[in-house]
A and B are shown apart, each in its own frame.
Chain A
Amino acid sequence: MAKVLVVTSGKGGVGKTTSTAALGAALAQRKQKVVVVDFDVGLRNLDLIMGAERRVVYDLIDVVQGEAKLAQALIRDKRLDNLSLLPASQTKDKDALTADGVAKVVGELREQFDWVICDSPAGIERGATLAMRHADVAVIVTNPEVSSVRDSDRIIGLLDSKTEKAEKGERIEKKLLLTRYDPARAARAEMLKIEDVLEILSIPLLGVIPESQEVLRASNLGTPVTLASPQSAPARAYAEAARRLGGETVTMSVISDKKSLFGRFFSRRAA
């Protein structure tokens, strides 16, 4: 039974696309058939993060408008056989995305894949509501910071009212992915603590992705961080989140990059 998952946040720049790519790759590594779909028409990024920008021919809008078949638009990942990308259009008008067209495409993807992961655009406009429309599960990406938390809360409200499941009277499964978390700064009250965010949003936690240089490095390489440096802290955190999505119970902890013994001994120099 295919699952449609939307990665959403309301606020921009919190890590939706990074998380879509990382979770998609992590699920694919676990032998699931995965497609990641970029809904950010006009500002497409997922192809870059996936390193497929030079292979885009057709896109989501072409499929929605019937200009191309789904099979023509899907780009298979070079590293993982069972991971595909359906890119967004960078040039076409975002109004070309219609509710009926999206329903048809998502329906077709459901038949071919185990996981359909939709990368939502920022905002609460049509693009975002269309991306979440058919989702079974929503991953709400949030930074430990008040404006991000409030925007996530807004999105949760929309998930409970504007999705197909909500309109049928069912509840969409919502999970929190806290990204760019720095335990040391949270301890110094420079950012919100995990408990604070959970208390405000009151949805279950899918995972905590630590702030790390590795994420930016992987982006620039065009490789999901779970593939670029699988042993790094963010990659392990995403891999654990993917296992939780698969239904496994994994103990929750904030993963950090272990410093070497010397690094810890000589971390600060006395004046």
Chain B
Amino acid sequence: MNAVAAAVRPRSSLRFRGRSFLALVLAPEPPLGDWLGEIDNLAQRSPGFFSSRPVILDLANLPVDRGSLGALIADLSARDVRIMGVEGVDPSILGPGMPPIVSGGRQTGNLDLIDTAPRAVQPVGGKKVQGQPVPIVPPRGAAPAQAPAQAQQQPTSLLLQNPVRSGQSVIFPQGDVTVLGSVASGAEVIAGGSVHVYGALRGRAIAGSVGNAQARIFCLRNEAELIAIDGLYQTAENMPAQYRGKPIQAWLQGDAILMAELH
């Protein structure tokens, strides 16, 4: 699930922002009766497992028509599974009142199912205890706990040793992007975290793209066409003239992008 950042005119109180959320994707397999039985089993082991989770229904492997889809959604809703979107079907089979079609989801690795029954509710998100990362997701059955280990080793910053050329687009929602060189006019760097440019920023820098108001933009020379932080953007035309061509940082304060020279 990944939504694209959108933005609005400055000074408008209406503000659209793109955000990525992790959703659970359920892919029903025929025969449907058995599959629903599995859901029941899971619900029995972990009561309330689905209650606070956004769920996407992936129907690529299940031949459905409008009637059977309606019945499936009703069956799931009777089990407290609320469907927020449907993937992998022709939009025409969706009737009124059904969840919308979603697409463009990205794989995040298998989300192992948490067995919450034997213990208290586990915090979701890696809280550290005694300096040791808690495995968020306990292994299911005999499967080794590889998934959480991998998730924690994923890099949270991206280093680019070469200039970003016009027409290139660097997208790194996982964290900061550092460019050792310039970002050319017509190039863009989109980071979930901050953008650091050790050179001239002549293209676009978009920081905090997945909803991070703390993200900042740094560059040794500001000639940016556009900068954006957390969905708020500013074009070159609206940038204060005294910061053009200077080493600057930019950050967000409320609904305003602020800039300061770096010394």
Q: Hey, which bits of chain A sit against chain B, CB under 8 A?
A: 124, 146, 150-151, 153-154, 156-158, 160, 199-200, 202
Whether A202 and B163, one on each chain, are in contact in the complex, defined by CB atoms closer than 8 angstroms, is yes
Q: Which residues of B163-194 are within 8 A (CB) of A?
A: 163, 165-168, 181-182, 184-187
Residues of A within 8 A of B166 (CB): 150-151, 153-154, 157
The verdict on B204 contacting chain A, using a C-beta distance below 8 Å, is no
Instruction: Please list the 6 inter-chain residue pairs (A to B) with the smallest Cβ-Cβ separation, ordered nearest first.
Output: A157-B165, A153-B166, A154-B166, A154-B167, A153-B184, A157-B168
Instruction: Quote the shortest CB–CB distance from A41 to chain B (angstroms).
Output: 23
Interface majority SS (helix, strand, loop, mixed), chain A: helix
* Contact residues in A for B184 (Cβ distance below 8 Å): 150, 153, 200
Complex-state Cα separation, A202 to B184, whole angstroms: 11
Q: What's the nearest-Cβ distance from chain B to residue A9, in Å? A: 13
**A202→B167 contact, CB < 8 A:** no
Closest A residue to B163 using CB positions: A202
Residues of B within 8 A of A (CB): 162-163, 165-168, 181-182, 184-187, 200, 202
A218 to B163, CA, bound (A): 38
In the assembled complex, the CB of A1 is this many whole angstroms from the nearest CB of chain B, namely: 27
Q: Take A160-B162, A200-B202 as given contacts and tell me if A154 and B186 are in contact as well, using a CB distance cutoff of 8 Å.
A: yes
8 pairs from A and B in contact (CB 8 Å cutoff): A124-B167, A150-B184, A153-B185, A154-B166, A154-B167, A160-B162, A200-B184, A200-B185
B165, A154: Cβ atoms closer than 8 Å? yes
The distance in angstroms between the C-alpha atoms of A154 and B202, with both chains bound, is 13
Nearest residue, chain B, Cβ from A152? B166
A214 to B205, CA, bound (A): 44
Q: Which residues of B contact A199 (CB under 8 A)?
A: 200
7 other A-B residue contacts (CB within 8 Å) besides A150-B166, A154-B186:
A153-B184, A153-B185, A153-B187, A160-B162, A199-B200, A200-B185, A202-B182
Q: Given A160-B162, A160-B165, A200-B202, are A153 and B186 neighbors across the interface (CB < 8 Å)? A: yes
Q: Are B181 and A150 in contact (CB under 8 A)?
A: no
B141 nearest CB across to chain A (Å): 41
Contacts of A151 in B (CB 8 A): 166
- Bound-state Cα–Cα, A191 to B166, Å: 20
Across-interface contacts of A146 in B (CB, < 8 A): 185
B residues less than 8 Å from A154 (CB atoms): 165-167, 186
Q: What's the nearest-Cβ distance from chain A to residue B13, in Å?
A: 36
Q: Whole-angstrom distance between the alpha carbons of A163 and B184 in the complex?
A: 21
- A202 lies within 8 A of B181 (CB): yes
Contacting pair A150 B162 (CB below 8 A): no
What chain A residues lie within 8 Å of B165 (beta carbons)? 153-154, 156-157, 160
Residues of A within 8 Å of B187, CB to CB, are 153, 157
Chain B residues closer than 8 Å to A200, beta-carbon distance: 182, 184-185, 200, 202
Bound form: Cα–Cα A153–B162 in Å: 13
Q: Which residues of the partner chain B approach A124 to less than 8 Å between Cβ atoms?
A: 167
- In the bound complex, what is the Cα–Cα distance between A160 and B162 (angstroms)? 10
Determine the chain B residues whose CB is within 8 A of the CB of A156 once the complex forms: 165
Which residues of chain A are within 8 angstroms of B162 by Cβ–Cβ distance? 160
Min Cβ gap B174→A in Å is 22
List of A residues within 8 angstroms of B167 by Cβ: 124, 153-154, 157-158
Please indicate the chain B residues that have their CB under 8 angstroms from the CB of A157 in the complex: 165-168, 187
A91 to chain B minimum Cβ distance, whole angstroms, is 32
In angstroms, how far is the closest chain A Cβ from the Cβ of B221? 10
Bound CA span A159–B187, Å: 15
| Alpha-carbon separation in the docked complex, A158 to B186 (Å) | 14
Measured CA separation A154–B166 after assembly (Å): 4
* Nearest residue, chain B, Cβ from A156: B165
Closest B residue, CB atoms, query A171: B162
- Closest A residue to B184 using CB positions: A153
Contacts of B182 in A (CB 8 A): 200, 202
**Interfacial chain A residues near B163, Cβ < 8 Å:** 202
CA distance A157 to B181 in the complex (A): 14
**In the assembly, what is the distance between CA of A200 and CA of B182, in Å?**
8
With A and B bound together, what is the CA distance between A19 and B222 in angstroms? 35
A150 to B202, CA, bound (A): 10
Interface centre among A150, A153, A156, by most chain B C-beta atoms within 10 angstroms, is: A153
Shortest CB distance A157–B (Å): 3
CA distance A142 to B163 in the complex (A): 18
- Most interface-central of B166, B182, B186 (chain A CB within 10 A): B166
- CB neighbours (8 Å) of B185 from chain A are 146, 150, 153, 200
Q: Provide the residues of chain B in CB contact with A202, threshold 8 Å.
A: 163, 181-182
